[in-house]
Amino acid sequence: MKITDAQVFVGGPGKNYVTLKVMTDQGIYGLGDATLNNHETLPAAYLRDYLVPNLVGMDPRNSEDIWQLFYRGAYFRRGPVAMAAYGAIDMALWDIKGKLAGMPLYQLFGGKSRDGAMVYAHAAGSDLDALMDSVASYVEQGFKAVRVQCGIPGMPSAGYAVPKDDVGTTPYITDFSGIRPSVEGWDTGRYMRYMPGALAEIRARFGPDLKILHDVHHRLLPREAAELAKAVEPVGLFWLEDPTPAEDQDALKLLRQHSTVPIAIGEVFNSIWDCNKLIENELIDFIRVAVTYAGGITHVKRIVDLAAMHHVRTGFHGAPSHSPLSMAAQAHLNAWAPNFGIQEYLVLGTPACDALFPSEHRMENGMMYVSDAPGLGVDFDETEAERYTYSPGSHPIVRLEDGTVWNY
Ligand code: CS2
Ligand code: MG
């Protein structure tokens, strides 16, 4: 069996999805997602210019060897651009493998460990009242877990993932169009003084059963993170996410010495080498990598297995920048992983996305149910794709009151 060609498409409804389609001499094709949010043209160029010309002629069934060949062969290893490109190839090859076997991918991993995978939604409000309304609407829809972000009184701008106007349950996307980033302000003191009380009020209003998550988005120093974690302990959070910048694998030691609040980290990691110490030293409770830019199924499965040995559960990244293809790859991993924790969920189910990526993966009452179709179980409508073109975007940057650049 041989790969005959592969094409890269960039575009989608409100997002520049990077979709790879790998064709074979047996008529079967595989699909993969290389969407690196706000840097989409980079993995697309790596695929088009270097990887696809080498892929043609290879046997698509040898997904492990192909992964190793591109990873080791590049010499300059890792990084989000390269790992997103290898990840898309890897997803497409697993998709082909599943179609050849006539099985959904979770069967190739070892079968189902659960019926449905719990997901969490994003609730947000410009202030606490608006956030409460947003949480209430998700609870009414049947969600069992909700991430909560709200405006901080006196903060120079709204805060991470906080809308300027209230959006209810409309997914709020914190991206800004245009190549020049918008600038947001940040005040650690105001945030630290306000957030523990706000989280306690949410717990008091919604009772003990709701799983409450909060994302600090890398904005605290290790000592501050430890102080916040201690302060929010009575709230009983499901997790506190990215309390410190993720580059430093030792940063969470201090927090761990002072608090038992569950910690989730890893959405910006792109390899096992970014999180091996965190996992082996049991400094975290949830690992947040995404198949999209952590090297696809082959590499993320290795991270999941390492995590399982250290009581670390999965909480894969699922921001709206992931196309339904990588969300499907994660749905298959979620169905199988013995150490599944939760899945972040925003993208599946919007009509425009469904038209571009038809699938039978479904959401019901805050649970995601994986499709039984062979492979990833998601298709790609090329005619529909013609409606979309690339439009550049950038993440905001953050500055402190005196102008110092801070972490977005
Ligand atoms: C966020 C992301 O989903 C999350 O937890 O931290 O939305 C993040 O801001 C984006 O993925 C950045 O592209
Ligand atoms: Mg996050």
Task: Kindly report the length of the chain.
Answer: 408
Q: Are residues 119 and 47 in the same domain?
A: no
Closest atom of ligand 1 to CA, residue 242: 6
Ion ligand 2 nearby residues (CB, 5 A) = 215, 267
Question: Active-site residue among 39, 122, 214, 217?
Answer: 217
CATH number, domain containing residue 187: 3.20.20.120
Tally the domains of the chain.
2
Q: Are residues 221 and 370 in the same domain?
A: yes
Report which protein residue has its CA nearest ligand 1's atom 13.
37
Distance 349 CA to ligand 2 centre (A): 21
Q: Report if residue 401 sits inside a domain.
A: no
Digitized pLDDT (tens) for each residue of the chain, 408 residues in all: 999 999 999 999 989 999 999 999 999 999 999 999 999 999 999 999 999 999 999 999 999 999 999 999 999 999 999 999 999 999 999 999 999 999 999 999 999 999 999 999 999 999 999 999 999 999 999 999 999 999 999 998 877 888 776 655 555 455 667 889 989 999 999 999 999 999 999 999 999 999 999 999 999 999 999 999 999 999 999 999 999 998 999 999 999 999 999 999 999 999 999 999 999 999 999 999 999 999 999 999 999 999 999 999 999 999 988 999 999 999 999 999 999 999 999 755 689 999 999 999 999 999 999 999 999 999 999 999 999 999 999 999 999 999 999 999
Question: Active-site residue among 46, 71, 106, 160?
Answer: 160
- Which of 55, 73, 104 terminates a domain? The answer is 104
Residue range of the domain that includes 286 = 108-376
Report which protein residue has its CA nearest ligand 1's atom 6.
217
Residues whose beta carbon lies within 6 Å of some atom of ligand 1: 37, 174, 215, 217, 267, 317, 319, 321, 344, 395
Q: Are residues 100 and 114 in the same domain?
A: no
Beta strands in 218-374 (DSSP E): 239-241, 263-265, 286-287, 313-316, 340-344, 362-364, 367-369
- Which of 72, 104, 136 terminates a domain? The answer is 104
Q: Are residues 113 and 96 in the same domain?
A: no
Q: Report if residue 175 sits inside a domain.
A: yes
In order, the DSSP letters of 172-204 are: PP--EESSSPPEEEE-HHHHHHHHHHHHHHHHH
Report which protein residue has its CA nearest ligand 1's atom 3.
319
Give pLDDT, residue 386.
97
Q: Report if residue 164 sits inside a domain.
A: yes
Give pLDDT, residue 240.
98
Q: Are residues 187 and 318 in the same domain?
A: yes
Strand partners, 150: 125
Do 19 and 323 contact (CB within 8 A), yes or no?
yes
**Annotated catalytic, 75?**
no
Give pLDDT, residue 89.
98
Give pLDDT, residue 176.
63
Does the predicted model carry a pTM greater than 0.95?
A: yes
Do 390 and 384 contact (CB within 8 A), yes or no?
no
Q: Report if residue 406 sits inside a domain.
A: no
Do 142 and 5 contact (CB within 8 A), yes or no?
no
Give pLDDT, residue 22.
99
Q: Are residues 51 and 83 in the same domain?
A: yes
